[in-house]
Amino acid sequence: MITKPTELDVEAVREQFPIFRRTIRGKQLIYLDSAATSQKPQSVIDAEREFYERYNANVHRGAYRIAEEATAAYEAAREKIARFLNAPSKECIVFTRGTTEAINLVAYSWGWANLKEGDEILLTEMEHHSNIVPWQLIAQRTGAKIKVVPITDDGLLDMDAFERLLTEQVKIVAVTHVSNVLGTINPVREICQKAHEVGAVVLVDGAQAAPHLPVDVQAIGCDFYALSGHKMCGPTGSGALYGRKELLEAMPPFMGGGEMIRTVTFERTTFNEVPYKFEAGTPPIAQAIALGVAVDFLTSIGMEQIRAHEVELTSYALERLQEVSGITIYGSAPPEQRGGVIAFNLNDIHPHDLATFLDAHGICIRAGHHCAQPLMRRLNVAATARASFYLYNTPDEIDALVEALKEAAKFFGR
């Protein structure tokens, strides 16, 4: 029997986010851009402030009380992220500044060491630039080639094409868990299984998944998983890379500097153990600690509850948006297979004009190419508007979006 997660008390959730007390031009702030960055609860804001007020010190080097406190809190945050992702141990978690840095780490470290001419890197048509450009840079240096899995007209990955493209030449598959434009949730478990059959490793870009769904890296079976703290109620400048420990151990360092070494002479350097080998220099300490608090916050609510809330909101939004004549929604994955992201255009109104119009109603949406220009080309558009939802959004806010879009259509005379 499937037990339904208990319903989220959205009002109680919202009370924990001070920003929602703000008004914009006399209107209540309606934030529908969490795919870009999420808002932060009071506990996360307090955690960062408390670090600076009470135990600001560098980690892993001080022999005094507050340095020990800082190190303990920093390592506890690593442990929390490991548990959140069901990673086998905290040594599999490298702190990064976000998904972009995590993917660059894998591309430069794993990619440079393992790719050569004749090898292939398999990406998909729905990747964010963060999961395209690092691979292009590495392909140029190593002679490896990039191949791309197309999407179907429904905005799903074309799995037949994936199987055709997945030859023994493919050494790494880099795929987004959830598309930041179409909202599509990709079958990452199946992708990992198939990729492993040909001996390829898999990097999953979890920027749009880790904040919204329960993620279990062992069940997925991925080799690397990247996430951004700022999209999951944590601070900017925080993020993480999960990597299988054997892989991380075999990989060369990404950046050189303090903290990532064991011994240094002018002739030779030996490196620290994982994950420290990948954390050169002073890390964003307050941010990592506060990311741990964000993980506590999400866990205390329950990722199943958050997911269920977003499925409901997205279904409601998809239904209500149909009332807006002239709207085109990109991607038609069913709610169970999509995250809380809806990209759309309204007649030929430029998405930036639409976003500016909505801003006058206190509604924040994103407009542009969403760092996914190849996908825009596939969809045959230069840009789209995008509304994205999180645990703090309500059906009333979707109603406000729909009414404002109807007004926009009248205002622009379309």
**Cβ nearer to ligand PLP, comparing 16 with 100:** 100
Distance CA 342, CA 175 (A): 20
In the complex, minimum distance from the CB of residue 293 to ligand PLP, in angstroms, rounded to a whole number: 18
Q: Where are the alpha helices (DSSP H) in 227-328?
A: 245-250, 285-301, 303-321
Rule CB under 6 A: choose which of 104, 109, 176, 238 binds ligand PLP. 176
386 binds ligand PLP (CB under 6 A): no
Taking CB under 6 A as the criterion, which residues in 213-252 touch ligand PLP? 228
- Name the active-site residue from 92, 222, 233, 371: 371
Both tokens of residue 265? 């002479």
> CB-wise, 16 or 104, nearer to ligand PLP?
104
- Cα 391 to Cα 386: distance, rounded to the nearest angstrom: 17
What's at 193, amino acid-wise? Answer: Q
Q: Is 314 helix (H, G, I), strand (E, B) or coil?
A: helix
Residue 325 burial (10 A CB sphere; 0-12, 13-18, 19+): exposed
Active site residue 92: no
Cβ-contact 173, 184 below 8 angstroms:
no
DSSP annotation of 365 reads -
Among the listed residues 273, 196, 207, 244, the one whose alpha carbon sits nearest the alpha carbon of residue 88: 244
Taking the C-alpha atoms of residue 290 and residue 285, their distance in angstroms, rounded to an integer, is 9
Q: Which of residues 37-66 bind ligand PLP (CB under 6 A)?
A: none
Q: Binding to ligand PLP by residue 208, rule CB under 6 A?
A: yes
Least distance from ligand PLP to the Cβ atom of residue 108, Å: 15
Identity of the residue, 183 or 275, whose beta carbon is nearer to ligand PLP in the bound complex: 183
Q: Work out how close the CB of 100 gets to ligand PLP at its nearest, in angstroms, rounded to a whole number.
A: 3
- Pinpoint the alpha helices (H) of 61-184: 65-84, 99-105, 112-114, 133-142, 159-165
Cβ distance to ligand PLP smaller for residue 208 or 345: 208
Of 100 and 393, which CB lies nearer to ligand PLP in the complex structure?
100
CA distance linking residue 308 with residue 212, whole number of Å: 9
User: What's the closest the beta carbon of residue 150 comes to ligand PLP, in angstroms?
Assistant: 18
Q: How far is the CB of 183 from ligand PLP (least distance, A)?
A: 11
Window 71-130: residues binding ligand PLP (CB under 6 A): 98-100, 128, 130
β-pairing, 366-368 vs 27-28, is: unpaired
Least Å distance, CB 179 to ligand PLP, is 7
Cα(93)–Cα(202) distance, rounded to whole angstroms?
A: 16
Closer of 71 and 130 to ligand PLP (Cβ)? 130
DSSP 156: S
Quick one: which of 73, 202, 207, 365 contacts ligand PLP (CB under 6 A)? 207
At closest approach, how far in Å is the CB of 93 from ligand PLP? Answer: 16
Nearest to 227 by CA among 48, 59, 106, 366: 106
Q: Is the dihedral of CA 104, 303, 14, 363 positive or negative?
A: positive
Which of 180, 305, 314, 393 touches ligand PLP (CB under 6 A)?
180
Length of the chain counted residue by residue? 414
Comparison of 71 and 238: residue with beta carbon closer to ligand PLP: 238
CB 242 within 8 A of CB 78: no
Cα 311 to chain centroid distance, Å, stands at 18
One of 48, 205, 296, 310 touching ligand PLP (CB under 6 A)? 205
Q: Which residues bind ligand PLP (CB under 6 A)?
A: 98-100, 128, 130-131, 176, 180, 205, 207-208, 228
Q: Which residues are tagged catalytic?
A: 371
